[in-house]
Structure 1
Amino acid sequence: MQLIGHVGKILRYPVKSLGGESVSSARVMYYGMYGDRSHTILDESRQGKYLTITQFQEMVKYKARFIGEESADRYPAVEIITPDGKVFVWEDEEWRKELESKSKRRLSYKQYSPAHVPIGAIEEEPLLVVSDASLKSLSEMTGKQLIDEQRFRPNILLDLIDKTPFLEEEWVTKHLTIGEVEIQVDRFCERCMIITVDPQTGERDANVHKQVIRHRKNNFGVYASVIKTGSIHIGDEVWIKEKV
């Protein structure tokens, strides 16, 4: 095995398409990061579809985080922070009515339990991994000082020893060990318009997506599946090995 870096940030998004939270440690389940996309907002005007940043980009200005003790049986309470700083719990009707009014859509709400989250937590794959070197390189391509990593909604931001940009694209089929956890890098992450939306302001910058298309064939970051569950922490060593 080869030491390739450390865990720089751990991120999860308790509510699909709302802003997420950065945590010091987290449990990695077979479906992905504990609690990631465990709560969703459904767009009743499109049967069976979720309301996402694609339909209503201002969603990203609403932030979600867990409060309270985590358990294997049920998720802690979810706290919602609105763009104007008001704080509600997930079940509160006030922020829901506000979101429904602003999005001009009839909405409903669904949450899963830790034992019954779809693989990939309503996403395409369980985990999304991005490196600091790749983020820095893309920031330079777009002429920005440093793009907020939450624009790309990764679960793990790696602090690499070798700062070669897009090195993670060479890891497909390989295994990474992170703390107690082992994952397999499965494929590139193909990007959509969501990365054009600033996670703090909700404003769009099409140049970000244009640069990813032009320089990276519309790929940024890699998807991974979980081979061995466990806990990871900020600063954990990340080792790579060939697929076994």
Structure 2
Amino acid sequence: MTLLSFGVVERLWRYPVKSTGGERVDRVAVEFRGLAGDRLWAVRDAAGKFGSGKSTRRFRHMPGLLRLGSRYADGRDRPEVLDVDGRPVPDPDAYLRAYLRRDDVMLAREGEISHFDQQPLSVLSTATLDWVRRAVPGVAVDERRFRPNILVRTPAGTPPFVEDTWLGRTVGIGGARIEFVDSSERCAMVNHDQPGLPHSPLVLRAVAAGHDNRLDALARVLVPGEVGVGDPVVPG
């Protein structure tokens, strides 16, 4: 870690199918759209809405998606869907229809309508994640509850919610350069159960009370490039 570094990349996550569990990667290309393949696919219903943890103009709440997983395997462009036990399913569309008990859903690649809620990258610090753990003792918490793309290991003594100080700044990470522009307003999805993380209403309650429901730093990509675990996050 350099003296001017915000920290180093601890873990990288991408979510091939929106609102399902993601996959950890050691290195990944960062494109203007975000991490290569991130949320490139989604579960779409007959009305054209995408499966999510909430319902809005673009998204439809589809309970249980977070208990599933998704990953890219063998260099294929279409991701695998993993069942609740972590096993790839042979026919994702058929499985999703049976699992969700809906006959109008299918796996759909992004078209003209973006699958992203807001900006293409979410970055979270270990300082903030550690604060959440302290705020909800006895509740299993790791970064998967907040679905960041990049978890940054911040130096000892870094205060929680340090991400607030990043907004409006640009940083280099590996071969990429990004600009922090906003933060995420959290919803009940952070409470939902997923493998190893039981449902708990205390998580959102703590974030709402401790930081006005906002957690992470959202970024746009200024210069594409490759990013890897261990890369320093350097201002400039």
CA distance in 1, matches of 2:178, 2:20: 26
* Contact 2:140–2:198 (8 Å) recurs in 1: no
For residue 174 of structure 1, the aligned residue among 165, 169, 182 is: 169
Q: SS in structure 1 opposite 2:179?
A: strand
Q: SS in structure 2 opposite 1:86?
A: coil
CA distance in 2, matches of 1:138, 1:193: 15
For residue 209 of structure 2, the aligned residue among 205, 210, 214 is: 214
Query: Could you say if the C-alpha distance between residues 111 and 202 of structure 1 is closer, same or farther in structure 2, counting changes exceeding 3 Å?
Result: farther
The reply on whether 1:101 has 2:95 as its aligned counterpart is no
The reply on whether 1:235 has 2:230 as its aligned counterpart is yes
C-alpha offsets along residues 14-41 of structure 1, whole Å, 9 cap, x if unaligned? 0011110000010000011100001111
* Contact 1:57–1:202 (8 Å) recurs in 2: no
CA distance in 1, matches of 2:136, 2:186: 16
CA drift of 1:206 comes to 1.0
Aligned residues: 226
Letter in 1 for 2:159: T
For residue 45 of structure 2, the aligned residue among 33, 43, 46 is: 43
* Contact 1:61–1:201 (8 Å) recurs in 2: no
Q: SS in structure 1 opposite 2:70?
A: strand
Gaps of 5+ in 2: 55-60
Gaps of 5+ in 1: 70-74
Aligned ranges 1:104-183 → 2 under 5 Å: 104-105=101-102, 106-112=104-110, 121-144=115-138, 147-162=141-156, 163-183=158-178
C-alpha offsets along residues 173-221 of structure 1, whole Å, 9 cap, x if unaligned? 0011101111000011111111111321574211100111111100010
Q: What's the Cα RMSD here? A: 2.1
Instruction: Using structure 2 for the length normalisation, give the TM-score.
Output: 0.88
* Contact 1:63–1:81 (8 Å) recurs in 2: yes
CA distance in 2, matches of 1:85, 1:134: 29
Query: Could you say if the C-alpha distance between residues 154 and 203 of structure 1 is closer, same or farther in structure 2, counting changes exceeding 3 Å?
Result: same
Residue matched to 2:88: 87
CA distance in 2, matches of 1:51, 1:168: 28
The reply on whether 1:65 has 2:71 as its aligned counterpart is yes
* Contact 1:68–1:76 (8 Å) recurs in 2: no
CA drift of 1:127 comes to 0.2
Q: Which has the higher strand share?
A: 1
Query: Could you say if the C-alpha distance between residues 100 and 138 of structure 1 is closer, same or farther in structure 2, counting changes exceeding 3 Å?
Result: same
Identity %: 27
Q: SS in structure 2 opposite 1:67?
A: coil
CA distance in 2, matches of 1:53, 1:158: 25
CA distance in 2, matches of 1:2, 1:188: 23
Letter in 2 for 1:50: F
* Contact 2:140–2:197 (8 Å) recurs in 1: no
**The 10-residue stretch of structure 1 (48-57 or 135-144) with the greater mean CA deviation from structure 2:** 48-57
Residue matched to 1:72: none
Instruction: Using structure 1 for the length normalisation, give the TM-score.
Output: 0.85
Q: SS in structure 2 opposite 1:198?
A: coil
Query: Could you say if the C-alpha distance between residues 231 and 117 of structure 1 is closer, same or farther in structure 2, counting changes exceeding 3 Å?
Result: farther
* Contact 2:126–2:151 (8 Å) recurs in 1: yes
